Structure 1
């Protein structure tokens, strides 16, 4: 598996259970040793000092259940070398930012799973890391918490911090990320912006005519009629088929009210990449 994370970039790591996302993240953090290869940050091999500057959020709860949220964040910040005064300020600031200012004195096991997730994100941020590696950070969050966490990640990326996170919520990844890596069986099946991933897919178009009769389209080589909804004909073009020829043919059969590509979402791109990977 080879990929690069640029400064100020939000990178979405997607794949099924067991695809290798968590393993890759643990290798980045040094929790697991790689069988081969290496992890580099700013041209240097990643070691202990580099990893101190990483904010890591594991998928499993990594918090002390009987410790108060505020005390725990102060403790973790100090473990990263932050002075006590700065650690206290950072802990209080992140609890406020994540909507937990009123729960700072609660023990972790007194909080809901969603609020525990917020504290876990605060633990990854409290030492002002240079890079963020987050494993399923949106798991168990309600829509308001998702919005808060999304805003935090955007702000960190805007300040130059690279953010790598995994998620099964593909609509969220598509909306939030600059680039996406699709993982299967420990390998990177596809990597790029959603637009770049779309460019590798079979092209689909919708054609709007006064008549919904798709007979004209069935006569074209490399064109498959997927469906007809009223006067709108949904088509799939094989590689090499000319979309302008499709448009010209449609115009010869009446006024064309609509001719536009159907852009697949990340969920469809993911299914396509995984099915092609299984076939290979």
Structure 2
């Protein structure tokens, strides 16, 4: 099993622009970590530093207890946001070429190329030029290129971009399988519903800084839970002063933002019943998309 991928205090400046400021997080063995943020937030810069494509002004990236060096980088499967396939090279030849660069034998490279093109649904295009494939199929080949050498870490920049729902399901299964093998997996994506479904933990980045990090459910709960109560008269501020109620928006349906660690929903229901009949009483937690908007615009 591989060690923890640790990103520790990265700073990066491009002229007057501060791209990263004390970027710090880790990805544990067997964990899928979602790295999300607006365009220009610093996600791709961080990933390029992990791979050594860029050098940080300060800070360090480690795998286990050792700084990442050239030998370690050969064990990382990387999928760049700007796709790097050769359009006039055949799919199978290209994957075998990349596998050989990572040290596989000719037979091992061919076997791995056959395996991953079959697993990712592009086996029928093995002898076609990459440039003749649809963008979605090129994306599948790009993921195969990241997996071709059996990496011990996966770093994927927008791997789901341009994929149809079937391909999204296949790629999701592959990432879960690799995590099940004890591999740290980190990927960026703007598809936050997918991040919420797939990831064990999430880091939200804004303006080069890590603004929020944690388990998906913990992050969603930190903004409070919303109770919606339909029925009580709108002219009675019946929830004011109840323990755990953070804000109350009174109306035909009263929306209460509450602290789930403090509030007693039955006490809230009882208080509502004192002023009128209740027709609906529901609880909801903010989605990752809601949290993302709150963090990024703060």
Do both proteins adopt the same fold according to a TM-score greater than 0.5, normalized to the shorter chain?
Answer: yes
1:250 deviates by 1.3
Q: Which runs of 4+ in 1 moved over 6 A?
A: 238-241
| Alpha-carbon distance between aligned partners in 2 of 1:141 and 1:204, rounded to the nearest angstrom | 34
| Alpha-carbon distance between aligned partners in 1 of 2:53 and 2:233, rounded to the nearest angstrom | 60
Partner of 1:220 in structure 2?
240
When normalised by structure 2's length, the TM-score is 0.85
Q: Does structure 2 conserve the Cα–Cα contact (< 8 Å) formed by 1:218 and 1:224?
A: no
Which residues of 2 match residues 1-280 of structure 1 at below 5 A?
1-208=23-230, 211-217=231-237, 220-221=240-241, 222-225=246-249, 228=252, 232-237=253-258, 242-244=263-265, 245-254=267-276, 256=278, 259-276=281-298
Q: 1:10 to 1:186 in 2, by over 3 A?
A: same
Q: Higher mean Cα deviation, 130-139 or 245-254?
A: 245-254
Unaligned runs of 5+ in 1: none
1:198 deviates by 2.2
1:194 deviates by 1.6
Whose strand fraction is larger, Structure 1's or Structure 2's? 2
Whose helix fraction is larger, Structure 1's or Structure 2's? 1
1:65 deviates by 0.8
The 3-state SS of whatever aligns with 2:202 is strand
Q: 1:235 to 1:4 in 2, by over 3 A?
A: same
Per-residue CA shift, 1:76-101, capped at 9, x if unaligned? Answer: 00100011101100001100010001
Unaligned runs of 5+ in 2: 1-22
| Alpha-carbon distance between aligned partners in 1 of 2:281 and 2:166, rounded to the nearest angstrom | 38
Q: Does structure 1 conserve the Cα–Cα contact (< 8 Å) formed by 2:96 and 2:113?
A: yes
Q: Does structure 1 conserve the Cα–Cα contact (< 8 Å) formed by 2:225 and 2:286?
A: no
Q: Does structure 2 conserve the Cα–Cα contact (< 8 Å) formed by 1:223 and 1:241?
A: no
| Alpha-carbon distance between aligned partners in 2 of 1:201 and 1:223, rounded to the nearest angstrom | 11
> What is the root-mean-square deviation in Å for CA atoms of aligned residues?
2.0
Give the aligned length: 271
| Alpha-carbon distance between aligned partners in 1 of 2:251 and 2:35, rounded to the nearest angstrom | 33
Q: Does structure 2 conserve the Cα–Cα contact (< 8 Å) formed by 1:237 and 1:243?
A: no
Q: Does structure 1 conserve the Cα–Cα contact (< 8 Å) formed by 2:43 and 2:205?
A: yes
